[in-house]
Amino acid sequence: MSKTANQMLVIFGASGDLTARKLVPSLYNLYKANQLPENFVVLGVSRSNLTDGEFRKKVVLESSYLTDKVKGDTEEVINTFSDKFFYEDLGDDYSLEYSKLATRISDLNNKYETGGNYIFYLSTPPSLYEVIAKNLSEQGLNNENKGWKRIIVEKPFGYNLETAKNLNKGLQSYFNETQIYRIDHYLGKETVQNLLVTRFSNSIFEPLWNRNYINHVEITNAEAGGVEKRGGYYDKSGALRDMFQNHLLQIVSLIVMEPPIDASALEIRNEKVKALKSLRIMRDEETLFKNTVRAQYLSSVIDGEKVKGYREEEGVDPNSKTETYAAIKFFVDNWRWKDVPFYVRTAKRMPTKVTEVVIHFKSPHHQVFKNSDLKNKDNQLIIRIQPDEGILIKFGVKVPGQGFKVERANLDFYYSNLAENNVMEAYERLLLDAMQGDATLYARADEVEAAWEFVDPILDYWENTPDVNIYGYSAGVWGPTNSDDLLEGNLRWRNPGENLADDPGFCLIR
């Protein structure tokens, strides 16, 4: 039996892509795992005119996103799930009939005994977030006298610092901060959470987790795909807003943060905010020029197939300067991280889809094995966020035979090898957390603002300084080669999978 309280999930934007692709399949997984409460109702809300039955068909019974999941399940099992779904339309601008919506919510609550506990999931264009919150509050649907009320807000959370602050202020005038859940699906990934466990449940890493032992930190987020059907959205966003400001800075905060007092949402989020506030903000043009690279993918041929360049994608301005590749070098101004460079890059149309964190440790301060070729032999801790979720440690071993020749070996852990390896999908985990009132993996207002504080000057420099370069890279390669110039000395980006035959160790060459 689920420990989740009876409740209703009200999804605004229920006819959209996210609902069908992520939310409903996640709910199905939770349903199959007996994680949904006994009394549970989903009320979909959007502009389209749909009956309950049509909505059920669209997002459950005829949804291609559920085809694999329902394979082998009986009609009864599938119907019991789809019977939990209801639909209400709100007219063209979501502002007309909130009293009608409130009545529908109340009727469903009474009929299905959902305890007055409601989650409002805002999966609409962001311009509607505040309007919806205001209307809900006017209907008393933020009031926790009878049952709790929570509101989940999708990304993008603001367009820059100013708009993020305004949005926070707007939402907070209708809901308390403790009721607001800002979703960042990377925090729902098992391996992102494992960053905390790796650091704080092992005494072998934390003593080394500082400037005395770490040479630099490298994070790569690469996607093989392009902007797909989201060119219109992406062209107004770009890689820095779409991935770096949220997902990647969340990962950075988990690497940088100090140990929390305990694993509560309050303590973890307090430490993450401190971490984000300690990122050194780059303000002058020279610093921004030296430490940032932006680029766009160009048309190319991949596996014999022609691939469009970014500017040819549907919805994209043919003269667009929006970046599909962003690489940033930065420092963290605090006791632990002083002078340790962080290199973070994110891009579309790379050779493969991969997200990983590499902690590069310093060379031993005294070289005992002087005759050995020690190039590329420094220790690395590689946290593979996706795919092949796991952890790899690279360390030196003696090559058998005479003398002391050192080779690099791997200690490799794969999540898939665990007996208990039912890794929840990110949205599934995050939905369940919100349903249970656990906000640990959701971003707090001050975290979001601290991240924008760091990103704003870079965006401003890229968008408003005449003649800032935007480089091209052929779709299917590891970005523009001049992004290597960001890296100090002879370092090179570690391109996972490159030169596998020579070096299964995936290295930055020093």
Ligand X SMILES: NC(=O)C1=CN([C@@H]2O[C@H](COP(=O)(O)OP(=O)(O)OC[C@H]3O[C@@H](n4cnc5c(N)ncnc54)[C@H](OP(=O)(O)O)[C@@H]3O)[C@@H](O)[C@H]2O)C=CC1
Ligand Y SMILES: O=C1O[C@H](COP(=O)(O)O)[C@@H](O)[C@H](O)[C@H]1O
Residues that constitute the known binding site for substrate: 185, 189, 223, 242, 348, 353
Among 154, 223, 323, 428, which residue sits at the site for ligand Y (rule: CB under 6 A)? Answer: 223
346 pairs with which residues across the strands? 221, 326
Radius of gyration, CA atoms only, the chain: 24
CB of 302 to ligand Y, least distance (A): 17
**Cβ of residue 192: shortest distance to ligand Y, in angstroms?**
10
- Contact present, 50 and 89 (Cβ < 8 Å): yes
Q: Which of 216, 247, 365, 366 is catalytic?
A: 247
Q: Return the structure tokens found at 506.
A: 């995936």
> CA separation (Å) from 470 to 151, 295, 319, 505?
39, 5, 12, 31
134: partner contacted, choices ligand X, ligand Y, none (Cβ within 5-8 A by kind) = none
Residue 231 touching ligand X (CB under 6 A): no
CB-based burial, 169-178: b 16+ in 10 Å, e otherwise: eebeebbeee
Binding of residue 154 to ligand Y (CB under 6 A): no
Residue 447 lies near ligand X (rule: CB under 6 A): no
From candidates 68, 75, 76, 93, binder to ligand X by CB under 6 A: 93
Number of residues engaging ligand Y in binding (CB under 6 A): 3
Nearer to ligand X, 88 or 154 (CB): 154
CB of 507 to ligand X, least distance (A): 33
* Minimum distance from residue 243 beta carbon to ligand Y (Å): 6
CA distances from 20 to 51, 153, 184 (A): 16, 17, 18
Which lies closer to ligand Y via its Cβ, residue 243 or residue 326?
Answer: 243
Q: Which is nearer to ligand Y, 130 or 242 (CB)?
A: 242
Q: Does 242 bind ligand Y (CB under 6 A)?
A: yes
**Which of ligand Y, ligand X, none interacts with 31 (beta carbon under 5 to 8 A by kind)?**
none
- Residue 90 or 358 with smaller CB distance to ligand Y: 358
Binding mask 151-180 for ligand X (x = CB under 6 A): ---xxx------------------------
Which strands make up the sheet holding 118-122, listed edge to edge? Answer: 85-89, 40-46, 7-12, 118-122, 149-153, 180-182
Q: Are strands 390-398 and 406-414 parallel, antiparallel or unpaired?
A: antiparallel
Binding mask 22-61 for ligand X (x = CB under 6 A): ------------------------xxx-------------
The backbone region for 303, taken as left when phi is positive above 0, alpha when psi lies in -120 to 50, beta otherwise, is left
125 touching ligand X, by CB under 6 A: yes
The listed partner (ligand Y, ligand X, none) that binds 93, CB under 5 to 8 Å by sort, is ligand X
Residue ranges of E strands in 363-508: 380-386, 390-398, 406-414, 471-474
Q: Which helix (H) or strand (E) covers residue 310, if one does?
A: none
* Residue 386 near residue 355 (C-beta atoms within 8 A): yes
Q: Which two tokens stand for residue 491?
A: 């370092």
Rounded Cα gap, residues 289 and 385, in angstroms:
30
Nearest to 250 by CA among 472, 452, 471, 467: 452
What's the Cα-to-Cα distance from 296 to each of 214, 476, 479, rounded to whole Å? 32, 12, 8
Residue 223 binding target from ligand X, ligand Y, none, CB below 5 to 8 Å by type: ligand Y
Q: Which is nearer to ligand X, 236 or 321 (CB)?
A: 236
18 binds ligand X (CB under 6 A): yes
Provide, rounded to whole angstroms, the least separation between the CB of residue 23 and ligand X: 9
In the bound state, the residue with its beta carbon closest to ligand X is 16
Residue choice 6, 15, 142, 278 for contact with ligand X (CB under 6 A)? 15
Binding-site positions for NADP(+): 47, 155
* Residue 96 CA: distances (Å) to CA of 47, 89, 90, 136: 11, 10, 7, 12
DSSP-assigned letter for residue 5:
P
Q: Is 216 a catalytic residue?
A: no
Q: How is residue 112 written in tokens?
A: 């299905």
At position 57, the amino acid (one-letter code) is K
Choose the one of ligand X, ligand Y, none that binds residue 242, judging by a C-beta under 5 to 8 angstroms depending on kind.
ligand Y
Contact of residue 46 among ligand X, ligand Y, none (CB under 5-8 Å per partner type) = ligand X
Cα 80-434-219 angle, rounded to 5 deg = 115
Q: Is 313 in the site for ligand Y (CB under 6 A)?
A: no
Identify what 447 binds: ligand X, ligand Y, none; CB under 5 to 8 Å per kind.
none
* CA separation for the pair 495, 490 (Å, rounded): 15
Comparing CB distances to ligand X, the nearer of 90 and 222 is: 90
H or E element, residue 194? helix 190-200
For binding to ligand Y (CB under 6 A), which residues are involved? Answer: 223, 242-243
Q: Catalytic residue positions?
A: 247
Site residues (CB under 6 A) for ligand X? 13-18, 46-48, 93-94, 123-126, 128, 154-156
